[in-house]
Chain A
Amino acid sequence: MSDILSVLALSDSIRHILSLVCAVVYLSAFATCVVSSGKLKKISSLMWGVGTAINGLIVVSNWAVNGYMPFVSMYQVLTFLGLTYYFVYVYISRRFSSEFLRPYFILFQGVILTGVFFMGKTASAWSFPPALQSAYFIPHVLSYMISYTLVAVSALICIISFFLKGENRLRHEKAVYHLVITGFPFMVLGMFLGALWANACWGSFWSWDLKETWSLLTVMTLSSYLHLRRTEAFGKYAKVLVIFAFIFEIITLFFVGMFDESSIHSYS
């Protein structure tokens, strides 16, 4: 087992090159998927599969290099997030028969892996601090990754739906709803697992830390969307909240840790 892991522990340079290759393959798959006709569709699927396999290899390699589930640094989280899109799409497309969402998922994968490439080749190694050594660590981060994936795609579809009309617009609006109701429970799960973890680690379920507060805002915004869309008066405007939820998600994920080093969540 340790031999296999040592083989998979690729060097920083190789993983850096792989992240570029992966981003290019994803973006090419996206371009061919948008054109999508006959043979091109098959080529797109093939490229998407190859991209996902490379992405998976980088994740496994990160795991082998660090010796723990690679969810600690931003580099590790984003690399795994790229992979999450594939599996979430497989579930969504089967549950709601919404294959037309495929290019949106691939586009996000391409953008994320491009970001991973620009993070540099030395960003992968990271020590595993005692506070993160908890049974809550993996389910907490994984739940958030699933929900972030769905909220990001739903916000993009929401923006696109403003430029569409008729049946196509309705189809996109319905997809936004489907993505949100699938992602929302995972966001709630992530938040409350975080609360349980905080109680085990810091002795408090909730500390009003900036990251916690922004994530609560994201949950509340999505919750408002789900409630408001039932009303006759505000129903048609409710989808705007999904875009706000995505903005709050971006702030929670990237900006809080970047600008507030005193945050109890600043590990990466």
Chain B
Amino acid sequence: MDFSHTEEQQMLQESVQKFVQKSYDFDTRNQIIASEKGYSEENWQLFAELGWLTVPFDEEDGGFGGSVVDLIVMMEEFGKAMLVEPFTPTTVIGGGLISALGSAEQKAELLPKIMEGTLQLACAYAEAGSRYNLASTKTSAELKGDSVTLNGSKIAVLNGSNAQKILVVARESGAETAREGVSVFIVDTEAAGVSIRAYTNVDGKKAAEISLQDVTVAASARLGAAGAALTALEAVIDRATVCASAEAVGAMESLLQKTVEYSKIRKQFGTAIGTFQALQHRMADMFIECQLARSIVIRAAMKLDSAEEAVEKAKAVSAAKSRVGKAIRKVGQEAIQIHGGIGMTEELDVGHLFKRITALDLMFGNGDYHTERFAAL
């Protein structure tokens, strides 16, 4: 098997690396997080110019026609730098849903704006009682004539406070956890009845709680057929799950490298702690975890790019997220432990990498959830 990067992948990787080196050091990142929007609009425009925002989209829609393997190459570099710009919610999830479900008109209207960097999206799927089950949707959508009224509350909406449009997952029919009856609607954040409570996540990304009170949209704001969005939603979130896993792989790699470096400098009892065999073995284990995580994420990306059955793809995604979750806890905790007190301070990037991977561990379902999903599929 050939795992080497294609020329295009190499260019993408170098392009992200160059940007991070030039414009995304730790202090700059902290300033971006502290800013009102919590991401840099200037960076976003640059991403558009560099073509990064076109990567997941089909060539016929004006995109780069990138594979999932192309995406994980970028995501890994984003993870190393702990990027906070909303690439996943806008392009991978928002853009992914429009690509998968949207009509020709919807695609023509929205996809170019995403790729130009002039449209920010969020997707509201999670609810207080849904945990990670995408079918579990209480938010209701009631069709009256040619308009739809939405009611309900959503949590953990990534990029919710900066999006101009939110893709709201709502139930048109069926019981709370039924697979049928789930639709996705494009809702303007300015629409009457939409209230948004913004906050910053532990890993520096912006998110929001969103409540919808008698929000009325045209029936044409629905993506795809009525009540039939779940399969596509799951496939898009699966793709985002592989992206999050790749992001974690990058961040873990960074943690490992920083930990090894620190162990060569930090002295205890007059010698560098990196010379202690007890710690050497633990760093060797961290390395093993990073490598296994990387392998299973590549496997998942290749499966998604393949022509295999949908169930095999879903299993590969859950396998990756489950295994990466295990690595996240091990690598994150050991990195802090080996750094000691300094690793726990806000001042050092190590703790922030730990927080980023902890958030990624929960994103789109934690390890146990995906282990159970793997077993059930």
Are A and B a genuine interacting pair, yes or no? no
Footprint of A on B, CB under 8 Å? Answer: none
Footprint of B on A, CB under 8 Å? Answer: none
